[in-house]
Amino acid sequence: MKNNDYQNWPKAELIEEIKRLKKRKKYGLVWEEKPEDVVEICKDKLPVVKEIKNKAIITDKNKSVNILIEGDNYHALSILNYTHERKVDVIYIDPPYNTGNKEFVFNDKIVDLEDSYRHSKWLSFVEKRLRLAKSLLKNTGVIFISIDDNEMAQIKLLCDEIFGEANFIANIIWQKAYSPVNLRKSFSANHDFVICYAKGISSLKLNQLPRTKESEKRYKNPDNDPRGPWKPTDLSVGPAIEKNIYEIITPRGRKVLPPKGRSWVLNKQRFQEFLKDDRIWFGSNKNSVPSIKKFLSEVKIGMTPLTIWPYQEVGHNQDAKKEIKSILPNELPFDTPKPLRLMDRILKLSTNKKSIVLDFMAGSGTTGHAVLELNKEDGGNRQFILCTNNENNICTDVCYPRIKKAIEGYKNLKDEKVKGLSGNLRYFKTDFVNAVPTDKNKKKLTDQATEMLCIKEGTFVPVLNRKYIKILKNGNHYIGIIFDQLAIPEFEKAIKHIKGRFSVYIFSLSDETFDEEFADVKQKIKLSPIPEAILRVYRRIFR
């Protein structure tokens, strides 16, 4: 630890110290930055992905391909910063809650309650990933983060800094348990939080929630109104507006004033209009305090969500454990899994039928499962991207088999057949290439970039696979990869009779696109040199 004799400090370290001291003066969150091994490795090696082809699941060629990436989520997010910058509609994550109960691992070591840097390590871990995640969101995008009391205050301040305080949407209270959890404490916590931020609040358009059968039961039709079911709503409001204080005479001749300190919602003229339109209800005896009829047909579109989500509406931890057990009976239940109904609500609030949904702390795969269910429900073609490490074989033994069974179908604990939801999945694993910027390493990065380009373009069906050229497609969209400029004539000949649009990636040490050599086919192709475009992203992230 250096002393404060700044006269003997090197210039570079003095500059860093000034930056650190400036940071301490602002309102917000300050913590001791802790170096992380998975981040440090990127100074020497650059992440890429390799497809595990025998784990591909294809059941519907007309639907988009979902992605599962096994590896550290920092590396996966770095790759996605090239393939999916500003393409993601919704991010949901369920990070380790940092309770000190062995669920948070930092640099291969469990962070327990005795670790004096427990919060700093957690913040270092989350902050780097949230910054990468922000780059992936569309301007209309939104992020949901599950959290508990241990880091709630910290994550709010951190998100204020990363996403902007003005882009805070809501802090949702989710009732995770329906009975006392720990009777030995002063309070038994039966809720968690889901904190929500927009990429840009002015561009955000959240959906309303569909009305439930329970909410519709509140609408009756005691007077057989031809407009259908309705419910009475209060005609009075507070504080009082003087011009809206007047006597209303019921059909039985009783005079009614608004309650003390309140006034009627409607002025006299509007009240008479509502009365003429049979929108005022005086009760079955025609003498009660008047109310306004609110018709179900007028509010059928949906409901504005509240910030308290009871378990009756979105499920609880025990529901989630049963869901996993039903699909994977031999797997030990998780301590804090999330129920499908919770994810269903988040997705219905934040997605359309073509949205891209990212969960880079995927765990048991609930997010992917929920996307498949919602697509089945409304005929959507949403795509999910799941990222998770394989700690305790969570990816290979839980996340992947759960998604596979959800797609293809399975037998539950009662030996009943559960029909598959249909869909497609491709499984990738992170890998590395040398980061030293030599010509040899640039060539190697290009050679290893095929899967990244396939993920970027959504093209996975092979059309041509030769030594120096590859062509893959998705419908009438093709990508071509040229690993040697001398193979350009061979590539032009290969695509001459293929109808469709081409994204062509060509290896170039100098970031040259060789436009003049594609003159004969320039109307059907878009040229991009590699690996410089990938390296630019990595220089920004790993600088």
Task: Retrieve residue 40's tokens.
Answer: 């440090």
Token pair belonging to 222? 């005691």
Read off the amino acid at residue 381: N
Check whether domain 437-542 has CATH 3.40.390, yes or no:
no
Q: Give Cα separations from 196 to 91, 159, 167, 219 (angstroms).
A: 10, 9, 9, 32
**Would you tell me how many other CB atoms lie within 10 Å of the CB of residue 445?**
23
CA dihedral (76, 80, 83, 84) positive or negative: positive
pTM metric for this prediction = 0.83
Which distant-in-sequence residues (6+ apart) come within 8 Å of 166 by Cβ? 201
Which of 165, 175, 169, 176 is closest to 195 using CA atoms?
A: 169
Q: pLDDT tens digits for 317-362? A: 999 999 999 999 987 666 778 999 999 999 999 999 999 999 999 9
pLDDT at 463: 96
The H-or-E segment that residue 192 falls in is strand 191-198
Q: In whole angstroms, what is the distance from residue 531 CA to residue 543 CA?
A: 17
Q: Where are the domains of the chain?
A: 48-207+305-428, 213-299, 437-542
Q: What percent of the chain has pLDDT over 90?
A: 73
**Rounded Cα gap, residues 530 and 434, in angstroms:** 16
Contact 443, 436 (CB under 8 A): no
Two tokens at 460? Answer: 């996975």
One digit per residue, the tens of pLDDT, for the chain of length 543 reads 456 677 788 888 888 888 777 666 567 788 898 999 999 999 999 999 999 999 999 999 889 999 999 999 999 999 999 999 999 999 999 999 988 888 899 998 999 988 999 999 999 999 999 999 999 999 999 999 999 999 999 999 999 999 999 999 999 999 998 877 666 678 888 999 999 999 999 989 899 887 767 777 888 999 999 999 999 999 998 888 888 999 999 999 999 999 888 999 999 999 999 999 999 999 888 878 899 999 888 775 677 889 999 999 999 999 999 999 999 998 766 677 899 999 999 999 999 999 999 999 999 999 999 999 999 999 999 999 999 999 999 999 999 999 999 999 999 988 899 999 999 999 999 999 999 999 999 999 999 999 999 999 999 999 999 999 999 999 889 999 999 999 999 999 999 889 888 999 999 998 898 999 998 888 889 999 999 999 999 999 998
Is the Cβ–Cβ distance between 311 and 299 less than 8 Å?
no
pLDDT of residue 1: 45
DSSP string spanning 61-119? TTSPPEEEEES-HHHHHHHHHHH-TTTEEEEEE------SSS--EETTEE--TT-TTHH
Query: Cβ distance 495 to 502 under 8 Å?
Result: yes
- State the virtual CA torsion across 447, 452, 455, 461 in degrees, nearest 10: 10
What single letter denotes the amino acid at residue 513?
T
State the fold for domain 48-207+305-428: Rossmann fold (3.40.50)
HSE, CB side, 13 Å, CA atoms: give it for residue 327. Answer: 26
pLDDT at residue number 44: 96
